[in-house]
């Protein structure tokens, strides 16, 4: 355990929904749900205004719509979220050389050997407030909750206690008392299964676990996890903040004795290689965002292709799925001498692929809308988006005459657009044919050039 609170945890508040409200002024102060607009969709993020109605992450689309029928249900704009995330992570990198990004909206920062006043609680609060103000300025209004403690556990707990849009510092020596009143789910690694096992023993709060005997915990959840659970309940956590690993990629490739032309056999090889790569990935405690295949033909020419996910994974079936789709672009009849799978773009935690577009029927006669009062039907894809679809609720568009806006709703061959941006609020709403030559999908507006902070 560190003798002073020198680990910082930053968590952007309702990140995806906050980016949408920032970029869509008409949605500010209103309930917004990102994801969950397809019949089989799942909520990614709900704004705090939507959470008042009980909408939560990982909730089904139908349940979210039932609880908040008048909320704006939007598909994802991963490029916009990635754009803001890069700004935040760059800012954290200016604080310390050791930043451990957990996802797009969350990171640990090691404050040891920095200018942070780790020996003063008041000084740390001021430091964190300056950081949050700089972050809000650079991201044009996003907010973050910051926790600082003597360990990663306590920093994470502190940021949860600070939500939303606040700061919490847990001084050295106050770890156990801070944890005691919290649910056992506050302990990292306690999922539904462990929670239910502990509940059968009457252990529902961290204080209950603190008072339990080590032998009782070991008997119920196993020797290794029982001992770790006991230590964590008392706030004892020595996990380091891990910066970017030296390894940039992990790969597995095979050279065949004879040139292969059987696609099914080659796909089976990809499956095996993907499993091996993911085994090594998990050994390093990492998740990958980019998947690549390498193909060498019989004439020794080499072909590589990669795909970057809208998330991060260590799942063999997902890596194999992407690798197979890349192999589909290859004419295997040329004869393949070498085949390999690689992963890169490592992060320290999985980021669910919330905006994965999958085919799910032709969607004929359906309508997908940002606001429930403009239509109650859902799009057929997981997020109201079918493969290759250009328009979905929340998507950025531009009209040759009327300028930039975003998709308010789609369906029945029509696209309804609200013409506004974060700089030009509350514009008109107009509908167009889906094939209108003057209407085009576009990416998010660029963020203004960053200026290094004078002091953070």
Query: What amino acid positions are annotated as catalytic residues?
Result: 106
Q: What is the DSSP letter of 371?
A: B
If phi > 0 it is left, if psi is from -120 to 50 it is alpha, else beta; for residue 392 that is: beta
CB 42 within 8 A of CB 65: no
Cα separation, 253 vs 407, whole angstroms: 44
Strand runs labelled E in 284-324: 287-297, 302-313
- Listing DSSP states for 154-220 in one string gives HHHHHHHHH-SS-EEE--TT-HHHHHTTSBGGGSTT--HHHHHHHHHTT--BHHHHHHS-HHHHHHH
CB 439 within 8 A of CB 157: no
Q: What is the DSSP letter of 374?
A: G
In angstroms, how far is CA 321 from the centroid of its own chain? 20
* Nearest partner of 194 among 222, 154, 161, judged by Cα: 222
Cβ–Cβ contacts within 10 Å for residue 141, how many?
15
């Amino acid at each position: 355990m560190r003798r002073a609170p020198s680990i910082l945890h930053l968590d952007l508040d309702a990140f995806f929904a906050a980016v949408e409200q920032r970029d869509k002024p008409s949605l500010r102060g209103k309930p917004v749900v990102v994801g969950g607009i397809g019949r089989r969709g799942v909520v990614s993020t709900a704004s705090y205004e939507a959470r008042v109605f009980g909408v939560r992450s990982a909730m089904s689309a139908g349940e979210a719509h039932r609880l908040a029928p008048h909320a704006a249900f939007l598909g994802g704009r991963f490029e916009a979220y990635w754009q803001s995330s890069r700004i935040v992570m760059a800012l954290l990198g200016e604080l310390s050389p050791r930043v451990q990004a957990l996802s797009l909206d969350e990171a640990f920062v090691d404050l040891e050997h920095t200018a942070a006043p780790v020996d003063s609680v008041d000084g740390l609060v001021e430091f964190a407030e300056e950081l949050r103000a700089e972050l809000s300025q650079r991201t044009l209004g996003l907010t973050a909750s910051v926790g600082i403690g003597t360990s990663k556990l306590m920093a994470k707990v502190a940021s949860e206690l600070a939500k939303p849009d606040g700061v919490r510092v847990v001084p050295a020596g106050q770890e156990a008392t801070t944890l005691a009143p919290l649910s056992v789910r506050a302990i990292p690694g306690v999922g539904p299964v462990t929670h239910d096992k502990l509940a059968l023993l009457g252990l529902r709060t961290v204080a209950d676990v603190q008072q339990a005997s080590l032998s009782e915990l070991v008997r119920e959840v196993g020797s290794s996890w029982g001992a770790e659970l006991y230590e964590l309940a008392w706030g004892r956590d020595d996990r380091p903040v891990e910066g970017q690993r030296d390894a940039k990629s992990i790969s597995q490739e095979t050279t065949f004795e004879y040139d292969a032309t059987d696609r099914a056999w080659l796909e089976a090889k990809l499956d095996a290689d993907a499993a091996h790569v993911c085994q090594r990935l998990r050994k390093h405690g990492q998740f990958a965002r980019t998947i690549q295949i390498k193909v060498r033909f019989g004439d020794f020419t080499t072909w590589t292709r990669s795909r970057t996910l809208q998330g991060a994974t260590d799942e063999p079936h997902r890596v194999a799925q992407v690798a197979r789709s890349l192999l589909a672009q290859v004419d295997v009849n040329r004869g393949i001498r070498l085949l390999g799978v690689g992963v890169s773009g490592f992060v320290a935690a999985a980021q669910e692929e919330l905006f994965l577009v999958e085919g799910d029927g032709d969607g004929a006669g359906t309508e997908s809308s940002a606001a429930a009062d403009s239509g109650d039907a859902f799009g057929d894809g997981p997020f109201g988006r079918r493969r290759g679809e250009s328009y979905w609720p929340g998507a950025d568009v531009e009209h040759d005459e009327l300028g930039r806006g975003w998709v308010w709703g789609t369906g029945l061959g029509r696209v309804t657009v609200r013409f506004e941006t974060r700089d030009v609020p509350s514009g008109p709403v107009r509908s167009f044919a889906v094939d209108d030559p003057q209407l085009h999908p576009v990416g998010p507006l660029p963020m203004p050039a960053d200026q290094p902070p004078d002091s953070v």
